[in-house]
């Protein structure tokens, strides 16, 4: 693995750690949309890496095909070379046969020559010095002529024989010359094929190097991909955790940064609006008893109590006020008896469950009475809600 790849992977790992650490205490809406953004970013990155891997693979396939083709060509040349080798063997055998023939002819020639020389010497000796001897040793003139004639006839015959041997020698030599030039031609062809084969083998080796480089790159990309996949899983786990913790709340905050206090409800679900009748200082959401109530925004619990008179719930009944520390406060009233889940001065995060819907106090049925205070004065909650 090279340095820059290693650096990238370290960066990704750091990013994951930072994300894991920083996503702990943020309110649900922000966290979830951040996480989803991160997931999108990672998906994009994963797609990029996947297409890079696909590109690398297709380059590898192309190179491997080329290597196969080169292997075929190289083995074709191999066949050519071995058939040339075979031809060369045959020609070499033929050449050495010719050489043996030539040597035989030479010996024959030499023997014949010796014979002729001997006869010529004899003839000369007879001719120059001993005609008389021959005549005298012969049984008369007829015998002498017959002897002389025979010697010269023999010499002539020997000469013809020698001539024949020389002709045969020349013929064999010509055949040998032809074979020698055929041998040279075969050797030249072989050398040229071997040269081509070597150059093919070189380009095959280069391609093999490319393939091994590509496969190294693919391995690194796969490692990177695995890290991103891990990261994605972690984010999905966090999203799942967040949605488990805050199941069903509308998670897109309003312009004021509020989410709905009730799952699946928006300001369009208000059943009795602010100022609907004289003294109605909030907005009512009618819904079944026990429905979870969530903090619309993070803040500090300003009040968590029950209004009672003579042992009976009056006014807001069980209620909570949260100070969002941005000049606004929210009030949740008529909660189910004993359902308040937070205490005064406690810090709450957005979407945290603080109680359940009930009908305690001045209420005729299960509903949430929800108020928004700006600088201590109640105002219409609708514009603050999603």
Closest approach of Cβ 227 to Zn ion, in Å? Answer: 53
* Residue nearest Zn ion, Cβ-based: 369
Cα–Cα distance measured from residue 230 to residue 51, given in angstroms and rounded to the nearest whole number: 19
Cβ pair 289, 338 in contact under 8 A = no
Measured from the CB atom, the residue of 244 and 277 that comes closer to Zn ion is: 277
Q: Where are any strands of DSSP class E within the chain?
A: 283-286, 292-294, 299-309, 312-323, 328-335, 347-348, 353-356, 367-374, 377-379
Q: Nearest distance from residue 367's CB to Zn ion, in Å? A: 7
The least CB distance from residue 284 to Zn ion, in Å, is 4
Q: Which residue has the tokens 């006839």?
A: 153
Nearer Cβ to Zn ion (207/265)? 265
Coil/strand/helix, residue 274: coil
Residue number, 204 or 369, with CB nearest to Zn ion: 369
Nearest distance, CB of residue 275 and Zn ion, angstroms: 11
Report d(CA 192, CA 186) in Å as an integer. Answer: 10
Sign of CA dihedral 371, 373, 376, 378: negative
Instruction: Tell me which residue of 357, 368, 358, 367 sits closest to 331, measured CA to CA.
Output: 368
User: Please, what is the Cα angle at 52 between 47 and 53, to 5 degrees?
Assistant: 95
Token digits of residue 244: 């488990």
- CB 46 within 8 Å of CB 232: yes
Query: Closest CB to Zn ion among 67 and 262?
Result: 262
Task: Give the residue with the Cβ less far from Zn ion, 268 or 364.
Answer: 364
Q: How far is the CB of 357 from Zn ion (least distance, A)?
A: 12
Looking at the Cβ atoms of 158 and 284, the one nearer to Zn ion is 284
Site residues for Zn ion per CB under 5 A: 282, 284, 369
**231 or 369, CB closer to Zn ion?**
369
Exposed (0-12), middle (13-18) or buried (19+): which is 132, by Cβ within 10 Å? exposed
Give the nearest distance from C-beta 361 to Zn ion in angstroms: 10
Are residues 29 and 240 in contact, defined by beta-carbon separation less than 8 angstroms?
no
**What is the Cα gyration radius of the chain?**
58
281 token code pair: 């200082």
Q: Please, what is the minimum distance in Å from the beta carbon of residue 277 to Zn ion?
A: 9
By beta-carbon proximity to Zn ion, the closer residue of 267 and 369 is 369
Provide, rounded to whole angstroms, the least separation between the CB of residue 272 and Zn ion. 6
């Amino acid at each position: 693995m090279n340095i820059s790849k290693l650096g990238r992977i370290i960066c990704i790992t750091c990013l994951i750690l930072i994300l894991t650490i920083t996503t702990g205490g943020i309110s649900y809406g922000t966290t979830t949309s951040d996480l989803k953004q991160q997931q999108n970013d990672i998906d994009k990155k994963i797609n990029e890496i996947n297409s890079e891997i696909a590109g690398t693979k297709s380059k590898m396939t192309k190179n491997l095909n080329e290597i196969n083709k080169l292997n075929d060509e190289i083995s074709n040349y191999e066949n050519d070379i071995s058939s040339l080798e075979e031809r060369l063997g045959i020609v070499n055998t033929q050449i050495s046969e010719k050489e043996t023939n030539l040597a035989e002819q030479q010996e024959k020639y030499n023997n014949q020559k010796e014979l002729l020389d001997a006869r010529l010497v004899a003839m000369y000796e007879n001719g120059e010095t001993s005609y008389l001897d021959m005549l005298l040793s012969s049984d008369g003139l007829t015998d002498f002529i017959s002897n002389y004639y025979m010697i010269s006839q023999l010499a002539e015959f020997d000469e013809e024989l020698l001539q024949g041997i020389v002709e045969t020698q020349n013929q064999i030599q010509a055949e040998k010359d032809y074979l020698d030039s055929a041998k040279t031609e075969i050797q030249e062809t072989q050398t040229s094929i071997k040269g081509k084969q070597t150059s093919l083998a070189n380009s095959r080796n280069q391609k093999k190097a490319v393939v091994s480089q590509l496969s190294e790159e693919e391995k690194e990309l796969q490692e990177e991909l695995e890290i991103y996949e891990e990261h994605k899983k972690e984010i999905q786990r966090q999203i799942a955790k967040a949605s488990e913790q805050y199941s069903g709340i509308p998670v897109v905050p309003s312009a004021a940064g509020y989410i709905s206090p009730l799952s699946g409800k928006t300001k369009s679900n208000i059943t009795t609006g602010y100022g609907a009748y004289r003294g109605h200082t909030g907005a009512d959401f009618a819904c079944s008893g026990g429905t979870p109530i969530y903090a619309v925004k993070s803040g500090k619990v300003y009040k968590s109590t029950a209004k009672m008179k003579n042992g009976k719930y009056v006014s807001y009944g069980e209620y909570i006020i949260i100070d969002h520390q941005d000049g606004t406060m929210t009030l949740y009233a008529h909660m189910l008896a004993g359902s308040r889940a937070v205490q005064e001065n406690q810090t709450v995060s957005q979407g945290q469950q603080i109680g359940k819907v009930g009908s305690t106090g001045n209420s005729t049925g299960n509903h949430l009475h929800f108020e928004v205070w700006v600088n201590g004065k109640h105002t219409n909650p609708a514009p603050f809600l999603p």
